[in-house]
């Protein structure tokens, strides 16, 4: 159980907060690359860590992420004209380049226009650098002199044919989303039905172990990029079935695979203190995704969702009670009556309120990974404040993979699963 002060510290990510300053030290996924498909295409609104921004791709294909509002009278630059290497406010024609620098003030006469006048040079909007990695546009919102190397998580390094990436709006604080993502205990209950029918999970012997042993034992080990959260269940032949979920600072988790299906994972990115982006990715390190796999992912199977058309809002959402089917719940088709693994998770996480009151919780041994994750976040935030090293800023510390494997009962995972957790790129994942 956390104190109110600890809960507030962990859940507030706006400018100047302890956790917000820590998040800003990492590259943050902001957009799919296809949301800015070509030079001079329409700008896109972006909200991250409580800051309202606008992203655009200029005439020379450079990416910009700048303050959403014009410095003149505060008009949203989402209405702007993206033309000739800049975003022009439609109200009075003030124009900004990808660095946020004002380059033209046509409403103020020759002395200010053309970027040469003193007033024009003085006006500069807040801006953040952007890069494209893994089909995703990332931004860095921290001190420029501390900008780390680009992200190198395994899914970003494979061919585009080997991965599929989606994102959806989740209407709750990022922390309860992460906590759900690293909790393997609930899988036997909440997802039991889906594991038997979803095409991206069926066929795994691990599903049987999940169903038979609903009381996993948790062991958590540190690694340079974060935590390795091992959930152990009884298996055949005097063995344990291990599912090992890496939590990579500050918001990544990788789901242990099942059978020969692709690996999957999430990035839980704060929009503000009451909403987050749930990025979901599938990839296979050795082969292209099949047409059947891609079709299932695009149809909202596995960890993906169907959308309200034209949005990133899930079709099943709090306004329609997540399309809950009480008859299916009672019949055992879906344990919660809600279809789809992603929304089974999101519905319950959102039901806790936009920011969960952790002063009322009663934690158990199966929550060991959650407790250690919270501690890691707080320690990293304090390290950032005190100018000490933080985990996972070095790309080498991001090189980890989830795995599912059988081990003899006398072999702890932290010593005997390294070949599955830290393999060379391009090798098959360990799946059961």
Cα dihedral value 210, 178, 283, 249, nearest 10: -120
Domain-wise residue ranges, the chain:
27-146, 159-421
Give how far Cα 2 sits from Cα of 125, 164, 171, 353, 370, Å. Answer: 39, 37, 22, 16, 12
Cα–Cα distances (Å) from 239 to 124, 128, 209, 410, in that order, read: 62, 50, 11, 9
User: Whole-model pTM?
Assistant: 0.96
Strand-pair category, 87-88 with 95-96: antiparallel
- Alpha-carbon distance of 270 to 10, in angstroms, equals 12
CATH number, domain 27-146: 2.102.10.10
Distance (Å, rounded) from C-alpha 255 to C-alpha 260?
A: 14
CB 227 within 8 A of CB 369: yes
Distance CA 398, CA 126 (A): 29
pLDDT per residue, tens digit, the chain (432 aa), is 899 999 999 999 999 999 999 999 999 999 999 999 999 999 999 999 999 999 999 999 999 999 999 999 999 999 999 999 999 999 999 999 999 999 999 988 765 556 678 899 999 999 999 999 999 999 999 999 999 999 999 999 999 999 999 999 999 999 999 999 999 889 888 998 888 899 999 999 999 999 899 899 999 999 999 999 999 999 999 999 999 999 999 999 999 999 999 999 999 999 999 999 999 999 999 999 999 999 999 999 999 999 999 999 999 999 999 999 999 999 888 899 999 999 999 999 999 999 999 999 999 999 999 999 999 999 999 999 999 999 999 999 999 999 999 999 999 999 999 999 999 988 999 999
Residue 102, exposed/middle/buried by CB under 10 A (0-12, 13-18, 19+)?
A: buried
Q: At what angle do helices 174-181 and 4-11 cross, to 10 degrees?
A: 90
> E strands, 83-175, where?
87-88, 95-96, 102-104, 127-128, 130-133, 136-140, 163-170
Q: Is the dihedral of CA 371, 372, 373, 379 positive or negative?
A: positive
Cβ-contact 298, 308 below 8 angstroms: no
Tell me how far apart the alpha carbons of residues 221 and 153 are, in angstroms, rounded to a whole number. Answer: 19
Residue 108 DSSP symbol: G
- What is 159-421's CATH number, 3.90.1300.10, 3.40.50.2300, 3.90.380.10, 3.40.1710.10? 3.90.380.10
The three-class DSSP label of residue 69 is: strand
Q: Rounded to the nearest 10 degrees, what angle do helices 174-181 and 341-351 cross at?
A: 130
In sign, the C-alpha dihedral spanning 208, 421, 26, 99 is negative
Q: Which residue has the tokens 């896109």?
A: 44
Handedness of CA 107, 113, 115, 117 (dihedral sign): negative
């Amino acid at each position: 159980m956390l104190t109110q002060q600890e809960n507030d510290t962990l859940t507030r990510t706006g400018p100047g907060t302890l956790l917000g300053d820590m998040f800003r030290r990492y590259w943050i996924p902001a957009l799919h690359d296809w949301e800015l498909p070509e030079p001079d295409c329409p700008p896109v609104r972006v909200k991250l860590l409580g800051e309202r921004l606008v992203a655009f791709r200029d005439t020379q294909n450079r990416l910009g992420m700048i303050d959403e509002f014009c410095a003149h009278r505060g008009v949203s630059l989402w209405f702007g004209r993206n033309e000739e290497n800049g975003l022009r406010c439609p109200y009075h024609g003030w124009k900004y380049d990808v660095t946020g620098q004002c380059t033209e003030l046509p409403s103020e006469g020759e002395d200010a226009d053309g970027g040469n006048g003193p007033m024009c040079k003085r006006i500069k909007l807040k801006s953040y650098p952007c890069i494209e990695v893994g089909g995703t546009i990332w931004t860095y919102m921290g001190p420029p002199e501390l900008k780390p190397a680009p992200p190198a998580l395994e899914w970003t390094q494979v061919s585009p044919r080997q991965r599929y990436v989606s994102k959806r709006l989740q209407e709750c604080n990022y922390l309860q989303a992460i906590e759900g993502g690293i909790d393997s205990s609930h899988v036997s209950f909440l997802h039991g039905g889906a594991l038997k029918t979803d095409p991206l999970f069926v066929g795994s012997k691990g599903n049987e172990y999940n169903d038979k042993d609903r009381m996993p034992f948790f062991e958590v080990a540190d690694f340079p990029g974060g935590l390795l959260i091992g959930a152990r269940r009884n298996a055949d032949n005097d063995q344990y079935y291990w599912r090992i979920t890496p939590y990579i600072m500050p918001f990544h988790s990788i789901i242990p695979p099942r059978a020969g299906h692709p690996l999957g994972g999430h990035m839980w990115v704060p929009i503000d203190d009451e909403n987050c982006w749930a990025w979901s990715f599938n990839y296979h390190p050795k082969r292209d995704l099949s047409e059947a796999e891609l079709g299932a992912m695009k149809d909202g199977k596995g960890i993906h969702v169907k959308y309200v058309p034209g949005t990133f809002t899930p079709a099943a959402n709090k306004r329609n009670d997540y399309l809950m089917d009480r008859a299916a719940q009672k019949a055992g088709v879906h344990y919660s009556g809600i279809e789809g693994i992603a929304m089974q998770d999101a519905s319950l996480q959102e039901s806790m309120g936009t920011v969960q009151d952790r002063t009322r919780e009663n934690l158990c041994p199966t929550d060991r990974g959650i407790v250690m994750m919270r501690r890691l976040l707080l320690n990293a935030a304090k390290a950032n404040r005190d100018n000490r090293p933080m985990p996972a800023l070095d790309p080498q510390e991001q090189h980890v993979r989830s795995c599912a494997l059988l081990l003899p009962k006398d072999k702890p995972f932290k010593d005997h699963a390294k070949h599955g957790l830290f393999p060379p790129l391009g090798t098959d994942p360990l799946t059961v």
